[in-house]
Amino acid sequence: MTNPVKTGLAWVRAACELSKSFLRFRLSFTEAENCLASAQYMLELYNKKVDKAETSDRSKDFHDACYYELKASVASLWGEYGNRLLFLSKYNMTNVRPGRSIPIDKATKSISMSSTTPIKSLTLEKNLKIIHKYTNQVTDTYVTTRDDAISVFLHCIKWFEVTKVCYTKLGFVERIKAVTCDNSKTYKYFAYFEPDLNKQIKLLKRQIEMLRDICDIDNFNPTVEDYHNRALYYDLVVAYAIIVDMIRENAECYTTCGEEGNLTKIYAIA
């Protein structure tokens, strides 16, 4: 007989993988959101079933580990969803009119990014009313104003924090560093939509603070060789940054929004 708990876990993992595919390869935010909402809903059902079941301490520990690992996966994907939405929204804004950017204070509405009809089998129509609160937590359209962008920004902060809490419970220190790095990008991307220069600088300073916190540069006894390597890496990072800025500036001027391959490459560089 099929174990409903194991089946639920398998569905959560499958929904996460589908969401990754829609998010990273098709840039289909509507479908990615539906998959993530379904995964979040099923994960909560799984947790309730485990809480009600009479299990041994060892079995409970196993289920807790599975739960927190899957919850971290769902949460990190929600954060990635928001980051990509902010980044591609900014990219889209610079390409609505060839060679011209739309001033932030004059942008009035968001633009739908779903180029395909949502796949009905994935939206699970029977449960749409149930999972509506999950799909309704963040938009699936490009944002063009600071007011629209701030809701996505807060969404990212919330879910990256959930991810870090889960990884802390599991003792996954290196993954916490990776999540913090992703979270720092949220501040950089949100700065695109902040019209006030001083606030932009504060956001970018916050990004730098977060990155410095996970570098651990001051937590070891460096040798002369370490200092030389640090200087080399610094020069390397600066060189990469200059090239990336040039590539992105050139791409934003000459690449159309419809060329998804170029969008994916540019996002990978960023």
**pLDDT above 70 covers what percent of the chain?**
59
pLDDT of the residue at 60: 62
pLDDT digits (tens, 9 = 90+) for 32-57: 998 999 899 888 888 777 665 555 55
Is 105 domain-assigned?
A: no
114, 88 contact by CB (below 8 A): no
Kindly state whether residue 233 falls inside one of the protein's structural domains. no
Q: What is the pLDDT of residue 174?
A: 79
- The answer to whether position 22 is within a domain reads yes
Tell whether 33 is covered by a domain. Answer: yes
pLDDT in tens, 58-88: 556 667 788 899 999 999 999 999 999 999 9
- 245 occurs within a structural domain: no
Q: Which domain holds residue 17?
A: 4-53+62-96+127-194
Mean pLDDT check: name the lowest of 46-50, 212-216, 226-230, 253-257: 253-257
Phi, psi of 230 (to 5 degrees): -60, -40
Tell me the pLDDT of the chain averaged across its residues.
75
Does a structural domain hold residue 231? no
Instruction: Give 108's pLDDT tier (boundaries 50, 70, 90).
Output: very low
Taking residue 30's Cβ as centre, other Cβ atoms within 10 Å add up to 21
Provide the number of structural domains found in the chain.
Answer: 1
User: d(Cα 257, Cα 267) in Å, to the nearest integer?
Assistant: 13
